[in-house]
Chains A and B, each alone.
Chain A
């Protein structure tokens, strides 16, 4: 590389660089801390100046040592409190509890993946075996030392807050190898941070620059232009120090929308652009609006205790307003005046009034139909929904559904397909779509749309259909209604380069700050 000569260099030195050069001219060589003190700079400014000077060949690093600091991650802190999954399983088994792989999640409140890894490790180390019916058994006299080492290390780090890696005994260092967090990847137990100590000195070029710097009169050159200079004109007979503008500036924190919210903002804007009005309803619903009004029979499998969250107090809503309650009850029982046979069962009011956390965004559409929507009219909602699922990489405790309806005298199956095509183009930038027959209790005909996303290939974009007359008529609507719902989670995760749905709602500020939208995938800012 062609380096400029000492003269040229001196002309473009930053005051921070001058401070470092002068300090090193004085004390010859210096460690990070010595240099910071001698130059009167804080660590960040020292690093910045040294970085520039090393690049210019003025300063060299003549020694470097690395130390590692070990601390606990969020998972590690939890293990410090509750014990590692392995020790908890061993303790539970020693306490004589009958445990199977399947019951671990329930019995010990472990995540499936966590329980799986732990049992795998214990089996591999021949500490447990799976007996008949998958019941885990302890192998008598098994060697637990590896797991005890990890537990001891966790509690050691928990007490100290942070320990030096180099000071740990070999066994603990080995144990740590597989357990620390790799940046941005799966979550580990420990976090290992590097601490570098460097020793700096001037290069021969640097010494030359140092001499020149001493010789030059600082007064001849302007660093920062000031108001004073502008007022008194003193800048006129001076030179401006030349900057090295190619240097990478330090990053700053800034105000910013949450990346997933920004993604949803984009969806919102698209919806409004396509003529949709926003609608909403409450987080807590009764089963009437969540299911009954959507013609899902009270014995439908998806209404089971294992699919929705029920509210404990109060358990039931106030009586459901008329004429909706009677009309819906009748349509379930015998079809009412809709031309349907109905489901032929006894409709129970108290089940209808049972309170649940909204399990599907279509509940918002049911409310809108009953409110007397505009015809023609288009509505959408971005609704927070809840399902009774074990929380893991594909299930968040709550999530968003984008849903809506379109009403109009001229609405039919082909306009439904046209609308879905429009969605595919606007939301997934997909020109190619495929329509597949689908089943939803509240629509007929029902369709699923698959779209060819420019980045992802064929994806399932959503489901839709024409609301059954058993849904619309009891709520007072006589025009045809399209009901649609879009599954945007996966597209959002790809746009944000996230692989675990829980990270869409992360509490880790570093992750939030560093998550960017990926260009060309409708990602957020």
Chain B
């Protein structure tokens, strides 16, 4: 979830009212934002935005736009959307070559005039660029943004693919020209972002009409024209990507942001080699004009109360929609800086937010249902009660553990385990396949706690199971560990005997050789001819592996098998 740092003065200017932290915090509910921090000294405010579908809100302009619309109770007008016919003669142009078709086919742009860039605006521009590219643009895979001083560029621009060994220019942060290939290997941004285009034969390059390179999207801008400085007042904002709709939306957001700061927006025409879903010539910013019709009864069904046409008109307008009422439904046009309305329920939620959740009175669900636990949970609880009654302390362990705890430490080598492929730390790399190692870990770390140690745990384990849909099976098992100076088989066996007596299970013990236990002192617990557990005295090797210095007797029983 994106967190942005904005400035109090900026908020006041864009919101058109004095800043008050408490008021601002409660207003942030309108944008699903949380106030993380206000630095009274510097005026910096940190806001976390929770809606991962609304990139328009990941900047101060977008937050304030939504809040201001709500205060003014009507959508914001932006005259520049669709103001120009695609064929207009004097429009600036980007000519797209078929050579980018494979690698990164779409580009959209606009020019913003009349706002002088200072250090604060520059910081906000960079932050917006980063948040949109990282989260919405999936680390520039689907969206990358470039910002330039427009007066240095000679239009029309050309967007084309070139072989990686060509296209040399001086990238930001370097002093000499490098080919695209060299940028990919030598430049830190190249190392980070060139993998996005690496598998293609031709890499994208944006040049002006004089042949000056603007940038190598989505990797790096050029030093010559690709850097915005304080004092610039004519900005060229460009967006490249793999999806035309996303590219257009991001241009719209950037244009609305600059317009909110007082800039005048000049559209730019992208001329494609062949028709796109928006035609061959696409002028941006471009209203996506997503519309949605929502029947009034859908509001009733979702919200549990009747809402009037006037309510709908008022609250939806106050959230930025253009609204047309009909007798039994409402038709909304989604504002140009949003494209997150997939279903009528999204409009219904915006209505509820606009009206305020506190305006809805909670109603207790009244339908009668019978509660209950799963049979396995009931069995587990009975087992836990019985073990506690026998004086045993319950333990609760993490179940993502280190491999050697389940294998080498138990003298069980090469067991098949459910393993994690993207391991972060070796100590948390496999799911446990038995509970007993968790108890031995407790014993290992508790040599100083007074004895006897009578421990048990009931919990989940994962067992590899080739024919199961998920390749493994989750089972609930119990383990019991008895550790003290004279702990032995018979003391623990009588606990097993009592447990099974009260659970009403008849079992046999069959001698077994098991690497974790002392030979001749271990038995399989057999119920209905199935071996569902094991009991015995742990072998000195196992105790040594765990660095345990008192004798231990233990048993493990598969409770899932008893259901």
Residues of A within 8 A of B (CB): 74, 109, 253-258, 260-261, 265, 268, 271-286, 299-302, 305, 309-315, 317-318, 335, 338-344, 355, 357, 374, 376-378, 384, 386, 388-391, 396-398, 406, 408, 410-415, 417-422, 434-439, 441, 444-447, 466, 468-470, 480, 482, 504-505, 507-510, 512-513
Known A441-B52, A447-B357; contact A390-B304, beta-carbon cutoff 8 A:
no
Q: Is the CB of A374 within 8 A of B364?
A: no
A284→B472 CA distance, assembly (Å) = 7
CB distance from A41 to the nearest CB of B (A): 18
Q: Is the CB of B343 within 8 A of A341?
A: yes
Q: Is the CB of A338 within 8 A of B343?
A: yes
Question: Which B residues touch A302, using CB under 8 A?
Answer: 52
Q: Is the CB of A277 within 8 A of B367?
A: no
Known A257-B394, A301-B138, A305-B422; contact A376-B357, beta-carbon cutoff 8 A:
no
Asked if B303 is at the interface (CB within 8 A of a chain A CB), the reply is yes
Asked if B327 is at the interface (CB within 8 A of a chain A CB), the reply is no
Q: Is the CB of A357 within 8 A of B421?
A: no
A359→B338 CA distance, assembly (Å) = 29
Asked if B496 is at the interface (CB within 8 A of a chain A CB), the reply is no
Q: Is the CB of B362 within 8 A of A421?
A: yes
Asked if B79 is at the interface (CB within 8 A of a chain A CB), the reply is no
Q: Is the CB of A261 within 8 A of B396?
A: yes
A300→B357 CA distance, assembly (Å) = 27
CB distance from B317 to the nearest CB of A (A): 18
Q: Which of these, A413, A420, A507, contacts B441 with CB under 8 Å?
A: A507
Question: Which A residues touch B32, using CB under 8 A?
Answer: 437-439
Asked if B389 is at the interface (CB within 8 A of a chain A CB), the reply is yes
Q: Is the CB of B392 within 8 A of A255?
A: yes
CB distance from A34 to the nearest CB of B (A): 25
Chain B window 323-367, contacts with chain A (Cβ cutoff 8 Å), 1 for yes, 0 for no: 000000000000000000011111011001100011011111111
Question: Which A residues touch B364, using CB under 8 A?
Answer: 415, 418-419, 421-422
Q: Is the CB of A512 within 8 A of B50?
A: no
Question: Which B residues touch A466, using CB under 8 A?
Answer: 302, 345
Q: Is the CB of B446 within 8 A of A507?
A: yes
Question: Which B residues touch A344, using CB under 8 A?
Answer: 245
Which listed segment binds A: B10-18, B212-220, B450-458? B450-458
Asked if B442 is at the interface (CB within 8 A of a chain A CB), the reply is yes
Question: Which B residues touch A283, using CB under 8 A?
Answer: 399, 418, 431, 460, 462, 472, 474
Q: Which of these, B384, B438, B449, contacts A509 with CB under 8 Å?
A: B449
Residue on A nearest B392 in the bound complex, by CB = A255
Q: Is the CB of B394 within 8 A of A261?
A: yes
A341→B290 CA distance, assembly (Å) = 10
Q: Is the CB of B348 within 8 A of A445?
A: yes
In the A-B complex, the 6 residue pairs with the closest CB atoms: A412-B304, A509-B446, A417-B362, A312-B421, A272-B371, A376-B367
Q: Which of these, B345, B352, B395, B444, contacts A512 with CB under 8 Å?
A: B395
Known A260-B396, A397-B400; contact A311-B421, beta-carbon cutoff 8 A:
yes
Q: Is the CB of A284 within 8 A of B470?
A: yes
A134→B425 CA distance, assembly (Å) = 24
A408→B396 CA distance, assembly (Å) = 36
Asked if B448 is at the interface (CB within 8 A of a chain A CB), the reply is yes
Instruction: Give residues of chain B (418-442) contacting chain A, Cβ–Cβ below 8 Å.
Output: 418-422, 424-426, 428, 431, 438, 441-442
CB distance from A142 to the nearest CB of B (A): 30
Asked if B541 is at the interface (CB within 8 A of a chain A CB), the reply is no
Extra contacts besides A258-B395, A275-B371, A507-B438 (15): CB < 8 Å: A258-B393, A258-B394, A258-B457, A265-B381, A275-B369, A283-B399, A285-B470, A310-B420, A335-B343, A340-B343, A398-B398, A417-B357, A417-B362, A466-B345, A509-B393
A435→B457 CA distance, assembly (Å) = 38
Q: Which of these, A257, A271, A343, A397, contacts B398 with CB under 8 Å?
A: A397
Q: Is the CB of B425 within 8 A of A109?
A: yes
Asked if B368 is at the interface (CB within 8 A of a chain A CB), the reply is yes
Q: Is the CB of B388 within 8 A of A257?
A: yes
Q: Is the CB of B352 within 8 A of A445?
A: yes
Q: How large is the interface on B (under 10, 10 to 19, 20 to 34, 35 or more residues)?
A: 35 or more
A505→B438 CA distance, assembly (Å) = 10
Chain B window 131-150, contacts with chain A (Cβ cutoff 8 Å), 1 for yes, 0 for no: 00001001000100000000
Question: Which A residues touch B391, using CB under 8 A?
Answer: 253-255
Q: Is the CB of A412 within 8 A of B302?
A: yes
Known A256-B388, A271-B371; contact A282-B474, beta-carbon cutoff 8 A:
yes
Known A282-B473, A470-B342, A509-B393; contact A411-B365, beta-carbon cutoff 8 A:
yes
Q: Which of these, B303, B368, B376, B445, contacts A507 with CB under 8 Å?
A: B445
Q: Is the CB of A300 within 8 A of B52?
A: yes
Asked if B51 is at the interface (CB within 8 A of a chain A CB), the reply is yes
Asked if B370 is at the interface (CB within 8 A of a chain A CB), the reply is yes
Residues of B within 8 A of A (CB): 29-30, 32, 50-53, 135, 138, 142, 245, 301-305, 342-346, 348-349, 352-353, 357-358, 360-374, 376-377, 381, 384, 387-400, 418-422, 424-426, 428, 431, 438, 441-446, 448-450, 452-455, 457, 460, 462, 469-474
Q: Is the CB of B418 within 8 A of A339?
A: no
A81→B305 CA distance, assembly (Å) = 67
Known A396-B398, A445-B352, A504-B396; contact A410-B138, beta-carbon cutoff 8 A:
no
Q: Is the CB of B424 within 8 A of A469?
A: no
| CB pairs A–B below 8 angstroms (30 shown) | A255-B454, A258-B393, A258-B394, A258-B395, A271-B371, A274-B371, A275-B368, A277-B370, A282-B470, A284-B472, A315-B421, A341-B343, A357-B400, A374-B369, A390-B425, A397-B428, A410-B365, A413-B352, A417-B363, A418-B364, A421-B362, A421-B364, A435-B358, A437-B349, A439-B53, A444-B349, A466-B302, A508-B442, A509-B445, A509-B446
Q: Is the CB of A258 within 8 A of B396?
A: yes
Known A341-B343, A435-B358, A509-B453; contact A444-B363, beta-carbon cutoff 8 A:
no
Q: Is the CB of B420 within 8 A of A309?
A: yes
Question: Which B residues touch A444, using CB under 8 A?
Answer: 343, 345-346, 348-349
Question: Which B residues touch A338, using CB under 8 A?
Answer: 343
A391→B394 CA distance, assembly (Å) = 24
A203→B153 CA distance, assembly (Å) = 103
Known A310-B421, A386-B400, A406-B365; contact A415-B470, beta-carbon cutoff 8 A:
no
A255→B495 CA distance, assembly (Å) = 13
A391→B460 CA distance, assembly (Å) = 21
Question: Which B residues touch A468, using CB under 8 A?
Answer: 343, 345
Residue on A nearest B384 in the bound complex, by CB = A257
Q: Is the CB of A505 within 8 A of B396?
A: yes
Q: Is the CB of A284 within 8 A of B422?
A: no
Known A74-B445, A318-B469, A439-B52; contact A469-B365, beta-carbon cutoff 8 A:
no
Residue on B nearest A445 in the bound complex, by CB = B349
Q: Is the CB of A439 within 8 A of B418?
A: no
CB distance from A149 to the nearest CB of B (A): 26
A243→B442 CA distance, assembly (Å) = 40
Q: Which of these, A391, A412, A418, contacts B428 with CB under 8 Å?
A: A391
A342→B343 CA distance, assembly (Å) = 8
A509→B305 CA distance, assembly (Å) = 55
A434→B342 CA distance, assembly (Å) = 28
CB distance from A435 to the nearest CB of B (A): 4
Most buried by B among A275, A284, A422: A284
Q: Is the CB of B441 within 8 A of A378?
A: no
Q: Is the CB of A414 within 8 A of B362?
A: yes
Q: Is the CB of A310 within 8 A of B422?
A: yes
Known A388-B424, A436-B357, A444-B345; contact A410-B301, beta-carbon cutoff 8 A:
no
Question: Which A residues touch B446, using CB under 8 A?
Answer: 507-510
Question: Which B residues touch A508, using CB under 8 A?
Answer: 442, 445-446, 449
A312→B430 CA distance, assembly (Å) = 10
A265→B388 CA distance, assembly (Å) = 14
Most buried by B among A313, A388, A470: A313
Known A378-B369, A437-B357; contact A255-B388, beta-carbon cutoff 8 A:
yes
Q: Is the CB of B394 within 8 A of A256?
A: yes
CB distance from B218 to the nearest CB of A (A): 16
A341→B369 CA distance, assembly (Å) = 35
Question: Which B residues touch A398, using CB under 8 A?
Answer: 398-400
